[in-house]
Amino acid sequence: MTKTMILSLLLLLFPAMQATAANKKALHVKMQLQGVGDTLVVQNGKQLTAFTGHDGVFDIMVPLTEPVYITLATPATFRGEEQQAFVIPAVPGQQVEIKGSWMGGFTFSGSRFYEDYNALMIEVEMAERPLSLLFNDLNEQMANGVNQDSLQQVFNERQPSMLQRQNDLLLDMVRRHADSEAVVVLAREFGDDVRMIQQAIGLMSNKVRNGKTARLAYGPLEDAKLKHDSEEDSARKQAAGVEAPDFTLNDINGQPLSLSSLRGKYVLLDFWGSWCTWCKEGFPQMREQYLKYKDQFVILGIDCRDTQEAWRQTVRDFQLPWLHVYCPNDTDLFEKYGILGFPTKILVGPDGRIIKSFTGEDPHYYSLIDELFGEVRSLSK
């Protein structure tokens, strides 16, 4: 055989050799999912990959370089039209078979890792059930018109002891399954609690802590530490008495508007977006309260991570009568103000210093506005 023929043969084989090497690191996923069409999207980090199947049946290879958590979802989920998604641990070179439905839950089988994972998830569901039932009950009561403050009080009274009980059960699970490669997934069940995640990892055997699936425990720990640091940084930037950083953005008429131009007034900075459900749910109450006290304070809506068309349409649809500016994606405003979630409301005093901040649709915001500008303040004069 000539050198030319050998080289040609190697060139033909090279793509196949690459594919074989890649498949050894891929996760082989077989699925039978009720209520799913012919397309499934897999999210690995920032990468989205669409896979085709038929009537909820899929047989796919998910490329991996290390153990990670991946999200499986319908295309409509990523378009913001529904919420049909779930997260699973993905281990290179393994095989998993998933059966179930979005509403009824899933079962996992296949490689030993996923057999053990399925057994652990059954125990996890039992451990987390009491707190989950509390959430569902309070949400149902709120939907039926029960006062949100009273429900919050119930939650504050019952949640700490229930969460402690849940964490104790999860730690006991780690102890009992300390040698299982799948036990690493329990680190993620402690949410953002750095101390609890560290405690759970400490209970795992040395073999597991240093094994091929260990990344599935240390990844959540790193994320929790990062979130903790971000929250501390945000708290410093939004603390009472801190001078609110000045900025200039274009208003809804395309004219520049700066925060400093409003000095001498109470100003509420409302960071929001048309894609944010909680932001829009708060608009009716915000509008009602603003019209009541509009002579005493200013609202400056800061539209974020949005298109200008969607921004303008939402302002029109909800008839929001206050000031509005558009925040482009390449701004450093989020960093300056330590914005971690939406909506975020930051009340700035006439001296330009922060009075208080609120993340989410927090009822305490409305209470503060009433205290500052309503009957409570009038009676105290």
User: 16-66: per-residue pLDDT in tens?
Assistant: 333 344 567 899 999 998 888 899 999 999 899 999 999 999 999 999 999
pLDDT at 2: 47
pLDDT at 17: 36
Mean pLDDT over each residue of the chain, to the nearest integer:
90
Which of the four pLDDT bands, split at 50, 70 and 90, describes residue 328? Answer: very high
State yes or no: pLDDT of 113 exceeds 70. Answer: yes
pLDDT at 9: 41
DSSP letters along 42-81, please? Answer: EEETTEEEEEE-BTTEEEEEE--SS-EEEEEE-HHHHTTS
pLDDT at 138: 87
Structure-token pair, residue 355: 């009075």
State yes or no: pLDDT of 7 exceeds 70. Answer: no
pLDDT at 111: 97
User: Which among 63, 59, 20, 19 is positioned nearest to 38, based on CA atoms?
Assistant: 59
pTM score: 0.74
pLDDT at 11: 37
Q: Which residue carries 């295309």 as its tokens? A: 75
Average pLDDT over residues 263-268: 97
Contact 248, 256 (CB under 8 A): yes
pLDDT at 375: 56
